[in-house]
Amino acid sequence: MHSAEKKHDFEPKVVAFVCTWCTYAGADLAGTSRMQYPPNVRVLKFPCTGRIDPVFILRAFQKGADGVLVSGCHPGDCHYMAGNFHARRRFAAFRVLLGFVGVDLNRLQFSWVSAAEGGKWVEVVTELTERVRAMGPMREFKELEQEEQWSATLTTPELQQAYESI
């Protein structure tokens, strides 16, 4: 799998928001089973996918993530009974919104990984990392972040015009 010899030009930054009961434990299992996967992922632990606010995903992209993974318990397995069901709807909607403003949804992955699915964790993380690597850096948000333009300054023609017409 991912070995020391393989060097890439681009190492994507991947952030994983996971629930503590299923996916975090699944990732632990991948560890105890000594499975190997790309070291690009940084895991943030939540009690439940229900706690994960869409703002966090947005913020992660803004702060330089090239790919984001959200993962929790399979439907019916939620430690809190219904947190993942609520999350599923919330993210179904948020995903559509991000897609609508032009974010390539290949950078955003959702998955159910149970505490027994160490293999699936490795698969999901590897797949996302490699997919994002092939896509290259997430330029859109970084460019926005770097843009210095202040839209409220009276330099834009529209505002200038509006100002003059008062």
Residue whose CB is less far from other proteins, 4 or 164: 4
CA trace torsion 52, 53, 59, 60 (10° rounding): 20
CB of residue 21 to other proteins, shortest distance in Å:
10
Question: How far is CA 63 from its chain centroid?
Answer: 11
Q: Which is nearer to other proteins, 100 or 164 (CB)?
A: 100
Spatial neighbors of 125 by CB under 8 A, at least 6 apart, are 14, 16, 37, 38, 41, 69
Main-chain phi, psi angles of 45, to 5 degrees: -95, 135
Output 130 or 140, the one with its CB closest to other proteins: 140
**How distant, in Å, are the alpha carbons of 80, 82, 91, 124 from that of 45?**
15, 18, 17, 17
Q: How far is the CB of 79 from other proteins (least distance, A)?
A: 8
In terms of Cα–Cα distance, which of 86, 65, 50 is closest to 16?
65
Smallest separation, CB 59 to other proteins (Å): 5
C-beta of 81 vs 134, nearer to other proteins: 81
- In angstroms, rounded to a whole number, what is the distance separating the alpha carbons of residues 116 and 73? 11
Query: Between residues 75 and 134, which has the closer beta carbon with respect to other proteins?
Result: 75
Q: How far is the CB of 137 from other proteins (least distance, A)?
A: 14
Q: Please state the closest distance from residue 155 (CB atom) to other proteins, in A.
A: 12
